[in-house]
A and B are shown apart, each in its own frame.
Chain A
Amino acid sequence: MEIKQKKEKKEEIVRIYIMGREYKVPAGLTIMKAMEYAGYRFIRGCGCRGGFCGGCATVYRVKGDYKLRMALACQKTVEDGMYTSQIPFTPAEKPIYNLEELSPSVNVFLEYYPEIAKCVSCNTCTKACPQDLEVMDYVQAAIRGDIQEVAELSFDCIMCGLCAMRCPTEIVPYNVALLARRLYGKYVMPKAKHVEERIKEIESGKFDEEIRRLKETSMNNLKEMYEKREIEPE
């Protein structure tokens, strides 16, 4: 009976600990909203609020469970007995390179991020990833210089930094992956012909007249044009 009562209570209000201090907040809020409810105001560590910018990396643990867990504050809803702490910034290694001067060689990752060779394949980075990426697998692909594999496996990375914070060998997976996607985009992926053609058209002034007319159109007319615009079929 007692347990049931507690359960009912839990559905309304949960007890969380923000940086060690206890707060009672409504259940169902995200960690971010719960913190705001508790009176915090985010001036860093919060961007899109939609799970895309990676600015709200969070570490938490739930009372009675020894496991340290990772999440995005804007995505994860609070749980009763949650101890949470923000990691808005990861002081990680990020070498400077000029993409124009790089080549998509098999050694490019080892050259800029030699520490990837220390990967012991413990998979702790993968476990930490709030995006469910196979982080260790792309680090491994980087070791063998497989740019495409790294780019594809890391495509959904939002650079929250949690993998780097957890790696026992101090690798910075997300920066390695960023280099891969840059190289992939610049040197490996086939160029889109139609984009190149369109750029030529723009440069040759094909649309200048149209743009000029649009600029001179009044706001009301613009709105009307927008409403009536042709929508391309899916």
Chain B
Amino acid sequence: MIRLPYYPGCAVQTTARNYAISGIAVAEKLGVELVELPKWNCCGVFPSLATDDLMRHLAPIRNLIHVQEMNDSGVVQNENRVVTFCSMCFHTLKEASLFVKDEEKLGKINTFFEREKEFVGGVKQGYKGGIKALDFLEVLRDIIGYEKIAKEVKKPLKGLKVAPYYGCLVIRPREIGIDDPENPTILENILEALGAEIINNPNRTQCCGSYHTIDRKDIVAKLTYDNLIYPIRNGAEVVVTCCPLCTFNLDFRQKEARELHRDLKEIPVMYYTQLMAIAFELDKQFYGVDLELHHVDPRPLLKAKNLY
């Protein structure tokens, strides 16, 4: 068993529980124990792009300090990696870790943490640098490997037509991305290892509309239509995602998208980890399909394919 520090983030603890529940179980099956940070806060969401906006970097850096503390207390040994499922969390943590490579900025941020030593509930150390944020997809590709994934498959997803969707945050910008920003292959490779039939999705690296989903549903509904209509026309039965926000927009905004475009057929949206749990034939609770977290219920499709 490899033990890796694990940063959940708010989404996978709430509306995207199905992602973490399936992901943690899948990791364990593959010999990786994800050890939750004993203490963590919101990742900071959208990394601030202003270079002098140091305040916005406190949240992600604080989480990286908690990884250091895990090493100090012996929960993990000499482990400078921290794993996330959520693309947004991954992106923010990694962006912050790169941002403070600039010593001057790190110095200023650490001055801020320095004063916390004197009160209860404060961190007792600054950030020393060198913690690496990993998206769970990287763990699968680089630490576990596709071969080992294929070996664990008990029930191949034969005949299940899947269309991968990446969104932006795990592939762009290039310094942060984990794969080719224009032509990523991680999801395809994993799904292939599971035995699924990959459907070409020309929109798989498009933006999902992100947080406009709160105040400009109309924009997101339009994007959701665009992002779903091509895979559907190509014959996809399910869209496979790796980000809670993308998933929310592709799944829940289908309602608004269908109001705009009557021709849009409903299509379930699932996390790749859910499909892995199914292909590995883990206990059904780890599929994460019974938690009322899907807008379009994937169970009828799974049943039709003898996968549930």
Cα A190 to Cα B25 with chains together (Å): 30
Are the C-beta atoms of B59 and A120 separated by less than 8 Å?
Answer: yes
Q: Cα distance A144–B15 when bound, in Å?
A: 9
Identify the closest chain A residue to B56 (Cβ). Answer: A120
Q: Does A123 contact B (CB under 8 A)?
A: yes
Q: Bound state CA distance, A137 and B42, in angstroms? A: 10
0/1 string, B33-52, CB within 8 A of A gives 1:
00000011110110000000
Q: Give the distance to chain A from B285, nearest Cβ to Cβ, in Å.
A: 19
CA distance A68 to B13 in the complex (A): 37
* A144-B10 contact, Cβ under 8 Å, with A120-B58, A121-B41, A136-B41: yes
CA distance A146 to B14 in the complex (A): 9
In contact, B122 and A119 (Cβ under 8 angstroms): no
CB 8 Å contact bits of A93-108 with B (1 = contact, 0 = none): 0000000000000110
Within 8 A of B (CB), among A135-169: 135-137, 140, 143-146, 168
Expressed in whole angstroms, the Cα–Cα distance for A120 and B61 within the complex equals: 11
Q: Name the contact of A126 in the complex, choosing from B42, B45, B59, B122 (C-beta under 8 A).
A: B122
Q: How far is the CA of A145 from the CA of B56 in the complex (A)?
A: 22
Query: Chain A contacts of B56 at CB under 8 A?
Result: 120
**A135: chain B residues within 8 A (beta carbon):** 121
Q: Which residues of A contact B62 (CB under 8 A)?
A: 121, 123
Decide if A122 is an interface residue (CB 8 Å cutoff): yes
Cα distance A123–B123 in the bound complex, in angstroms: 9
How many A residues touch B, CB cutoff 8 Å? 23
Mask for B120-150, Cβ within 8 A of A = 1, else 0? 1111000000000000000000000000000
242-264 of chain B: CB within 8 A of chain A: none
The distance in angstroms between the C-alpha atoms of A122 and B54, with both chains bound, is 11
Q: A133, B121: Cβ atoms under 8 Å?
A: yes
Contact indicator B14/A132 (Cβ below 8 Å):
no
Q: Give the residue of B10, B42, B119 whose beta carbon is less than 8 angstroms from that of A121.
A: B42
- Bound Cα distance from A168 to B116, whole angstroms: 16
A127 contacts B14, C-beta separation under 8 Å: no
Query: B residues within 8 A CB of A145?
Result: 13-14
Nearest CB of A to B116, in Å: 6
Q: Does B308 contact A (CB under 8 A)?
A: no
Assess the B41–A137 pair: CB atoms within 8 A.
yes
Does the CB pair B14–A120 fall under 8 Å?
A: no
CA distance A134 to B119 in the complex (A): 10
- The reply to whether A120 and B44 contact each other, CB–CB distance below 8 Å, is yes
Contact indicator B121/A122 (Cβ below 8 Å): no
Complex contact B58–A134 (CB within 8 A) = no
Pick the residue among B14, B42, B59, B116 that contacts A106 (CB under 8 A).
B14
- Inside 8 A of B55's CB, which chain A residues have their CB? 120, 122, 168
Contact A126 B119 (CB under 8 A): yes
Of chain A, the residue at the smallest CB distance from B10 is A144
Q: Is the CB of A143 within 8 A of B10?
A: yes
Q: Write 28 A-B pairs (CB below 8 A) sorted by A numbering.
A: A106-B14, A106-B15, A119-B42, A119-B59, A121-B41, A121-B42, A121-B44, A121-B62, A122-B55, A122-B112, A123-B116, A123-B121, A123-B122, A123-B123, A126-B120, A126-B122, A127-B116, A127-B119, A127-B122, A129-B121, A132-B121, A137-B39, A137-B41, A140-B40, A144-B14, A144-B42, A145-B14, A168-B55
Interface residues of A (CB under 8 A from B): 106-107, 117, 119-123, 126-127, 129, 132-137, 140, 143-146, 168
12 further interface pairs, Cβ-Cβ under 8 Å (given A106-B15, A126-B122, A144-B10): A107-B14, A117-B45, A119-B59, A120-B44, A121-B62, A123-B62, A123-B122, A123-B123, A126-B120, A127-B119, A137-B121, A144-B42
